[in-house]
């Protein structure tokens, strides 16, 4: 009888381990792993999923067995046997979960230390969140853009912050997410491993335009990245590019730049409407005042307090005038 029990227990253990291995190796619940960080996080996830599968079926199987084996039979009105406990069993079911938790904890810590290691000579990219757009700065090139480009295989450290409320920078394909908090800088280490275009999301409800606070990260070869940097530096003083990097497209619609924001009023044909909104003001003065003092006049149907009030510090007078002229020229 004892040999039969041990044999059945061994069979059950083998089946459970095999089931856990199959679930861990075949389950595909994640987007493509586009960074070395993602590979390690996915491996940890598969280990946890496999262990959880074994534990789930072991516990549920024991529960079903107990319900069927020890259920009250028809016509049996006797009291159940007085069982006062089993010290060996209690020690066993305490030590095994403890060992599992310790092993998983040590493994998880090793993965955490590995993915947070920035590697040798990482590139620094500053990420600034604001309602409702992401801005990416490359300090080595003194360049700001509205789209994140990275060379494949090169370690990168993101320095993430916010200019207004709490945002959360999230690239699902990188398995990386960090809160962007005003007055604080959070760092996240990434090494892209796949060439492609991957979505960027804000994972923190940050206001009326939260759903449109999206961007993308373009991972490309080193040569393509260098060409893109050179192109962006050439466009640094272009007012259309300035409109994007300042975050205006996150809230406003403007056909020439392809933006469709609905948080703020549309900007196409602004020159013709400026006189109606600012009586006695010429269009250029109205637009400049709207940039520097956004709550001075609120277009009916839109909310005050959403547009940043620090463009006077972020932009030079020359950039503001270039932006005003650009908006005046849009039909």
Domains of the chain and any CATH numbers: 8-65+88-115 (no CATH), 123-231 (2.60.40.420), 239-328 (1.10.760.10)
Q: Flag whether pLDDT at 210 surpasses 80.
A: yes
Largest pairwise CA distance in the chain: 101
Q: What value does the mean pLDDT of the chain take? A: 86
DSSP 113-159: HHHT---SSPEEEEEEEETTEEEEEETTTTEEESSEEEETT--EEEE
Rounded distance, CA 293 to CA 298, Å? Answer: 10
- Burial class from Cβ neighbours inside 10 Å (0-12, 13-18, 19+) for residue 136 reads buried
Of residues 4 and 113, the one with the higher pLDDT is: 113
In the prediction, which pLDDT does 175 show?
A: 92
Rounded distance, CA 262 to CA 249, Å? Answer: 10
Count the neighbouring beta carbons within 10 Å of the beta carbon of residue 250.
23
Q: Which two tokens stand for residue 248?
A: 């205006």
In the prediction, which pLDDT does 273 show?
A: 76
Give the lowest-confidence range in 49-53, 79-83, 130-134, 191-195: 79-83
What backbone torsions phi and psi does residue 24 show, to the nearest 5 degrees?
-65, -35
In the prediction, which pLDDT does 82 show?
A: 78
Q: How far is CA 90 from the centre of its chain?
A: 43
> Using N-to-C axis directions, what is the helix angle for 87-115 and 36-69, rounded to 10°?
160
Q: Flag whether pLDDT at 303 surpasses 90.
A: no
Q: Which two tokens stand for residue 329?
A: 């020229």
Rounded distance, CA 30 to CA 21, Å? Answer: 17
In the prediction, which pLDDT does 312 show?
A: 77
Give the lowest-confidence range in 87-96, 213-222, 228-237: 228-237
Of 52-61, 117-126, 218-227, 297-306, which has the strongest mean pLDDT? 218-227
In the prediction, which pLDDT does 38 show?
A: 93
In the prediction, which pLDDT does 37 show?
A: 92
Q: Flag whether pLDDT at 187 surpasses 80.
A: yes
Mean pLDDT confidence for 199-204: 93
Decide if 288 contacts 301 (C-beta within 8 A): no
Rounded distance, CA 270 to CA 182, Å? Answer: 32
Percent of the chain past pLDDT 70, that is, above it, reads 96
Mean pLDDT confidence for 108-135: 91
pLDDT digits (tens, 9 = 90+) for 269-299: 887 777 666 566 788 888 888 888 888 888 8
In the prediction, which pLDDT does 112 show?
A: 93
Output the pTM of the full model: 0.73
Decide if 265 contacts 330 (C-beta within 8 A): no
In the prediction, which pLDDT does 172 show?
A: 94
Rounded distance, CA 145 to CA 236, Å? Answer: 9
Rounded distance, CA 276 to CA 283, Å? Answer: 10
Rounded distance, CA 180 to CA 130, Å? Answer: 9
Of 26-35, 160-169, 243-252, which has the strongest mean pLDDT? 160-169
């Amino acid at each position: 009888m004892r040999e039969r029990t041990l044999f059945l227990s061994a069979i059950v253990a083998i089946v459970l381990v095999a089931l856990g291995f199959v679930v861990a190796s075949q389950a595909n619940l994640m987007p493509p792993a586009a960074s070395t960080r993602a590979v390690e996080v996915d491996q940890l996830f598969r280990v946890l999923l496999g262990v959880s599968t074994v534990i789930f079926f072991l516990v549920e199987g024991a529960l079903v067995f107990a319900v069927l084996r020890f259920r009250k039979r028809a016509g049996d009105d006797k009291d159940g046997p007085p069982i006062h406990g089993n010290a060996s069993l209690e020690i066993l079911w305490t030590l095994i979960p403890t060992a599992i938790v310790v092993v998983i904890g040590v493994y998880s810590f090793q993965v955490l230390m590995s993915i947070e290691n920035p590697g040798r000579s990482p590139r620094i990219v500053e990420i600034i969140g604001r309602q409702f757009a992401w801005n990416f700065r490359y300090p080595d090139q003194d360049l700001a853009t509205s789209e994140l480009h990275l060379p494949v295989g090169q370690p990168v450290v993101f320095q993430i912050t916010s200019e207004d409320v709490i945002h959360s920078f999230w690239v699902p394909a990188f398995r990386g997410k960090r809160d962007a908090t005003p007055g604080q800088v959070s760092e996240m280490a990434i090494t892209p491993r796949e060439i492609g275009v991957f979505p960027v999301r804000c994972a923190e409800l940050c206001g009326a335009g939260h759903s449109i606070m999206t961007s993308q990260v373009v991972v490309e070869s080193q040569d393509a990245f260098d060409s893109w940097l050179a192109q962006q530096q050439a466009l640094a003083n272009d007012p259309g590019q300035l409109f994007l990097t300042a975050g205006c497209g996150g809230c406003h619609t403007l056909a020439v730049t392809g933006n469709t924001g609905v948080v703020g009023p549309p900007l196409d044909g602004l020159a013709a409407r400026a006189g109606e909104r600012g009586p006695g003001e010429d269009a250029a003065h109205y637009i400049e005042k709207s940039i520097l003092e956004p709550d001075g006049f609120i277009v009916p149907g839109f909310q005050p307090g959403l547009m940043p009030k620090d463009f006077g510090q972020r932009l030079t007078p020359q950039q503001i005038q270039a932006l005003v002229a650009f908006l005046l020229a849009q039909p």
